Structure 1
C-alpha cells in the first residue's frame, strides 16, 4: 500500500526499491548532495552526479561503488554559473526520461569582494537560483516525458529570517556575503513553490517539492574517503552538537524522501522533524514569507529576464530569447 506523508512505516534506513528510475543530483559529488546520491544509489536507481569537477565526481562514484555493490552512478559535467553551457549538459545525459532532479548544488562565499559570473550576475544568486532556473527549462522535456516526475529543490534554514530585495537581486548596493547567500536560497525556495503553482495550472503530472536539510555539520558526518574524512577528534567535538543538529548523511533524508515517497505532493516542504534542524523528514508548514505569491511571481519574471528564458511546461516551443 502506498505510503502517506505521515506514514510511520517510512524508514530512512530501509528505502523502497527504485530500480529503473533515473535521478540527476546537482552537486552530487560532495556534502549533502553526495549522501543524497549514495542513498538513492542504494535503492537501485540510476544516479547522475552533476558537477563541474570531474575528478571529485569520480572520487564520489568510487566511494558510492565501494558501499553500494552494483551501484549505477555516473557523472555529467554541469556548471550552474555558466548558463550557456546547460543545454549541452542536459544533452550529455543521454536519457529519454528523467524521474527526478534534485536541485542541491550551491555556492556559499564567506568574505567580500563581490564576485560575478561571465554573464555579469552575482555568483551566489547566479549559481544557486538562476542556474537551477535555467537547468529546469532544459530538463523540462525529459521531465514531462516521465509520468510523476519530481523537481526537488533544496532550500536552507538560513532563508527563514531573510527577505528578498526585488530591486537589488544581484546585491549591487550593499553586498554582505552571508545575507546574499541566504537570499539566493530564499529565491530558490520561492521558485520551487511558484513552479508548483504553474505546474498545477498547466495540468502537469510533474511535482515541484521543496526541502531543507536543517543543521548539517562535517563533524557529525561519517567519513567517506576521499570525499570526506572525519577525524576522531572532530567526531568527539561534534557529539554535543548532535543534540540539536546532525550530519550531512541525515541532512540528505528530506530530499531522498521527496524523490521516493509516493505520498509526497507538490508544493510541500519537507524538513527534519525536530525544530527543522535534525531527525527524520516530515512536512513542515510553509514559513509566512514563502506563501507570498506576489513576490514569487515577480521573482519568476526577473528570472526569465535575467536568463533570457521563458520557462514553461505547457509549450515546449519556448526558446532562449
Structure 2
C-alpha cells in the first residue's frame, strides 16, 4: 500500500496561486506594507482596490503596481477611517457585487505628544486603527458574505505583544504615551479580529477572520518604489546590519497575502514571520496568551459598538 501524500504544494511567497475573478480591498494600500500587499495580490490576477484617504498617493501607488504587474487590475477609492460617517460612501464607490477579502492594514502611528483626536472625538490612533476598521467591517459584511468564502484579514503588530489593554482608558485620556497608545490600538485590532471570527463561527457564516502581523519591517530594508519610497544609499547601508533580525516591508506583507490566498489558513488563526516572529516566510504561530482572553475581547467589542454606533455582528444575527 502506498502511503498517503498531501497534494497541497508548499507555500512559495514568490509563486503565489492564481486568484482570477477575485476582488480584494486593502486599506492603506497606497504606502508601506499595504502597498506591497496590494502589489503582490495584483500579481495573482485578482482585482485589487486600494483604500486611501489621499487620492494622489493612491493613484501613484496604482500606477506603480500597473508598471510592475502586467495586466494588473488595480484602482483606488477614497477612504478616511478617522471619519466614521464617510464610510458608507466607500461602499458606493466600490461598485462590486462581492468582496473576497479585505485586508485591514491602514494605520496611524504618532511618535510625539500631544494627544490628537478624530473628528468624531476619538483618540486618533485608536479611532483610526481600531474603531475605523470595526465600523468598516460592518459596512462590508454584506459584500463579504456574498463571496463563496470571504475573509477579513487584520494586520496587527509585533508591538502589541508586550501591551495590555486598559478597558477603562481605551482612549488614552489618562495615560497617553504615543508608542504605548499605538501598540494598544493595534492590540485592539487583533482582539477584534479574533472576536469577529468567534461570532462568525457562532452564526454559521462562510466568512472567516484571520489575524496577522508583519514582524519587524523597516523602510531601509524595503525595495525602492518611486515616487512613494526611495531609500538613500546611506539609509540602506545603515539598515543593513538589522537584516539579521528584521526585514523590509515587502516581506512584512507576506503573512497578510498568505492569509488572503491560502485555503489552508483558517479563521481564528494568527500568522506572522517564521523567525522569532520578526522575519522570514509566513507561518502560523500560537495565539498570544493575552490575545486569547475572550472576556477582554467581548468587552472591547461592546465598547467599540457603543463608540461607533454600529455592530459588525448584527447582520449575522450574532449577539
TM beyond 0.5 = yes
Query: Deviation digits for residues 249-292 of structure 1, max 9, x if unmatched?
Result: 00000000000001000000000000000000000101110010
Give the structure 2 partner of residue 267 of structure 1.
Answer: 268
Contact 1:134–1:309 under 8 Å retained in 2: yes
Question: May I ask how many residue pairs the two structures share in their alignment?
Answer: 314
Q: 1:53 aligned to 2:16?
A: no
Q: How many angstroms apart in 2 are the aligned matches of 1:65 and 1:314?
A: 36
Give the structure 2 partner of residue 37 of structure 1.
Answer: 38
Give, in angstroms, the shift of residue 233 of structure 1: 2.0
Contact 1:54–1:77 under 8 Å retained in 2: yes
Q: How many angstroms apart in 1 are the aligned matches of 2:78 and 2:12?
A: 33
Give the structure 1 partner of residue 3 of structure 2.
Answer: none
Q: How many angstroms apart in 1 are the aligned matches of 2:220 and 2:99?
A: 34
Q: CA RMSD in A?
A: 1.4
Q: How many angstroms apart in 1 are the aligned matches of 2:126 and 2:208?
A: 24
Contact 2:203–2:316 under 8 Å retained in 1: no
Query: Deviation digits for residues 63-107 of structure 1, max 9, x if unmatched?
Result: 111100111000000000000000111221001000000000000
Give, in angstroms, the shift of residue 227 of structure 1: 1.2
Give the structure 2 partner of residue 86 of structure 1.
Answer: 87
SS in 1 for 2:217: coil
Unaligned runs of 5+ residues in structure 1 are none
Contact 1:199–1:313 under 8 Å retained in 2: no
Give, in angstroms, the shift of residue 311 of structure 1: 2.1
Give the structure 1 partner of residue 99 of structure 2.
Answer: 98
SS in 2 for 1:239: helix
Q: How many angstroms apart in 2 are the aligned matches of 1:133 and 1:314?
A: 14
Query: Deviation digits for residues 16-70 of structure 1, max 9, x if unmatched?
Result: 0111000000000000000000000011110000000000001001111110011
Give the structure 1 partner of residue 279 of structure 2.
Answer: 278
Q: How many angstroms apart in 2 are the aligned matches of 1:144 and 1:174?
A: 39
SS in 2 for 1:38: helix
Give the structure 2 partner of residue 130 of structure 1.
Answer: 131
Q: How many angstroms apart in 1 are the aligned matches of 2:249 and 2:44?
A: 19
SS in 1 for 2:247: coil
Q: Which runs of 4+ in 1 moved over 3 A?
A: 313-316
SS in 1 for 2:174: coil
Q: How many angstroms apart in 1 are the aligned matches of 2:245 and 2:71?
A: 35
Contact 2:205–2:316 under 8 Å retained in 1: no
Give the structure 2 partner of residue 113 of structure 1.
Answer: 114
Q: 1:198 aligned to 2:199?
A: yes
Query: Deviation digits for residues 213-248 of structure 1, max 9, x if unmatched?
Result: 000000000000011102222222221110100000
